[in-house]
Structure 1
């Protein structure tokens, strides 16, 4: 990630005094254009960085430059370290060395006080590699190609200019520009298969803030009202916001929540067995009834 690369560049320059753009590019596995863009970012941030031309040229810092930890307050230092601790959950290998160096600089004990794991139970190495390939493609501005399965099991091959990974609603999504549809799209990472990082590069600005309204367009939302028995209290409190839950006199729950109209919802509700009743909408109640009737026919 760029912030880690910028910190590492400054530390390398403090240690080595001069580093060529090619050396930086090879070390970070990025293009020289990216390195020069990083130099501009550091310069704009007030770091006294400059370039020397010629055979013995390179990227340098003013000889008397040191990182002043006093620029950040005590709380700022703690927040920076805490943020990097959280980023370790994304399995970004560059975070750990930066975290150690900043902990030394700030004279703070690098205590692992938080652990976050976004992976699914039982997810294997293949899923972790997929995430790393997506991350690298985003950082290096490389196009990707993959087979994508909709909620109805329909497969299409997509070529994407990946821009961001987002975590929303207990799932990872890839946000990027779809060349097939010629527009920005979200793709659920768990439905991506046969991912291939292409040797094709693109130039596109990464939006500082993603328009989450796109989630509402794909697909449309509806109001779901459920009655769930008390025996499923652990799932109710795990899977729904407190504001959506209304506990009844018999200890059952009425849950009202807006969800995207997607094929996964039927399987999700059936996972509750006979402990759930769909109150609204009526069309979904009827779909669940038909599925249960068809399922029963296989056992009688």
Structure 2
């Protein structure tokens, strides 16, 4: 959120007195070009950000500068505080400090209405997340081992562009040097990560999760019947649920046919029946037969 970064930048300058574009770029994890663009935006709304060249120069605000609350409407002030509150789970320590400062400036009591934690129970995943984050902001190419949904293992060199959270899963959106195309990599399938010293210039796409980019395979309307005792899971996963005469819960939803779909269906064990389409129903039968052979 640009507005959020601009306010952080103003308070950083008020606190530090003077700094440089590279320091700001590192602090806010953006490019130097973005920093100078932000400075132009701040200047255009009347915030006197000055830049000086040469030894001892830098970026600074006048010593007597005070943020004018009248520049921001009451509604905008509340929206800023609400947005900051929603971000505390992403970078808790820094965002809570900024939230406190902004609440003080606007003379408003913030409402503790949300708590977010995107992490899972595996420490190694947090380490991977931080490594990818560093590579994205430093624009360094990466090497890693990847297991695709086609069950093949490959070594990849990529230009990491954006971390994406979708349907309870983290993905890395990157430009694959081997495929010469953009790809989404599920973080749980990435291993042996190395950040190289090779710098790239490619910028992240504005919108990664557009429907036409997510689903490159055909989608099917899958009709399922769930046992009544699974109601808690059914209502967690589906918006539209009907009850059949025998008490089962009927659901119809669209899915691309892949391993994730079959893993999801099999996670319900014997308490779900796929009613249609027929070929997905038969595939479930085959997987159950394979499991019977093993056990």
Global fold match (TM > 0.5): yes
TM-score of the aligned structures, taking structure 2 as reference length: 0.86
**Residue deviations 1:4-40, cap 9 Å, x none?**
6543432232244432445546666777666545434
**Is 2:108 aligned against 1:108?**
yes
* Equivalent residue number for residue 52 of structure 2: 52
Please, which runs of 5 or more residues in structure 1 have no aligned partner?
A: none
The answer (yes or no) to whether the contact 1:221–1:260 under 8 Å persists in 2 is yes
C-alpha separation between the residues in 2 aligned to 1:183 and 1:206?
A: 13
Q: CA 1:51–1:8 in 2, change beyond 3 Å: closer, same or farther?
A: same
Matched, 1:155 2:153: yes
- The whole-number CA distance in structure 2 between the counterparts of 1:130 and 1:51 is 37
Tell me, yes or no, if the aligned pair for 2:81 and 2:102 is still in contact at 8 Å: yes
Q: Indicate conservation of the 8 Å contact 2:140/2:200, yes or no.
A: yes
1:89 alignment partner, SS class: coil
Aligned to 1:295, the other structure's residue is in SS state helix
**Post-superposition shift, 1:228?**
1.1
Q: Secondary structure at the match of 1:109?
A: coil
Count of paired positions:
294
Q: What corresponds to 2:280 in structure 1? A: 284
Alpha-carbon contact 1:146-1:192 (below 8 Å) kept: yes
Alignment of 1:214-233 (within 5 A): 214-217=213-216, 219-233=217-231
Residue number among 158, 176, 179 corresponding to 1:178 in the alignment: 176
Shift of 1:63: 4.9
Which of 248, 255, 270 is the aligned partner of 2:251?
255
Contact 1:248 1:254 in 2 (8 A): yes
- Separation in 2, partners of 1:167, 1:30: 20
- Distance (Å, rounded) in 2 between the aligned partners of 1:234 and 1:268: 15
Which residue does 1:142 correspond to in 2?
140
Q: 1:59 to 1:92 in 2, by over 3 A?
A: same
d(CA) in 2 for partners of 1:93 and 1:261? 41
Measured against aligned partners, the alpha-carbon deviations of 1:58-102 in whole angstroms (never above 9, x if no partner) come to 212245532222322333222222222222223465423322221
Q: How far is 1:287 from its partner?
A: 1.6
1:238 CA displacement: 0.7
Partner in structure 2 of residue 65 of structure 1: 65
Distance 1:248 1:176 in 2: 45
Change (3 A) 1:13 1:72: same
In the superposition, relative to structure 1, how do residues 4 and 141 fare at CA in structure 2: closer, same or farther (>3 Å)?
A: farther
* 2:85 matched residue in structure 1: 85
Tell me if structure 2 keeps the 8 A contact 1:178–1:185: yes
The 8 Å contact of residues 4 and 80 in structure 2, kept in 1 or not, is answered as no
**1:149 positional shift:** 1.2
Question: What secondary structure, in the 3-state scheme, does the structure 1 residue paired with 2:223 have?
Answer: strand
Change in Cα spacing, 1:2 to 1:146, as seen in structure 2 (3 Å) is farther
Residues in 1 aligned to 2:27 and 2:177: alpha-carbon distance in whole angstroms: 31
Who is 2:199 aligned against?
A: 201
* Structure 1 residue 106 displacement after superposition: 1.7
TM-score normalised by length of structure 1: 0.85
SS at match of 1:139: helix
The reply to whether residue 13 of structure 1 matches residue 13 of structure 2 is yes
**Does structure 2 retain, via aligned residues, the 8 Å contact 1:186–1:214?**
no
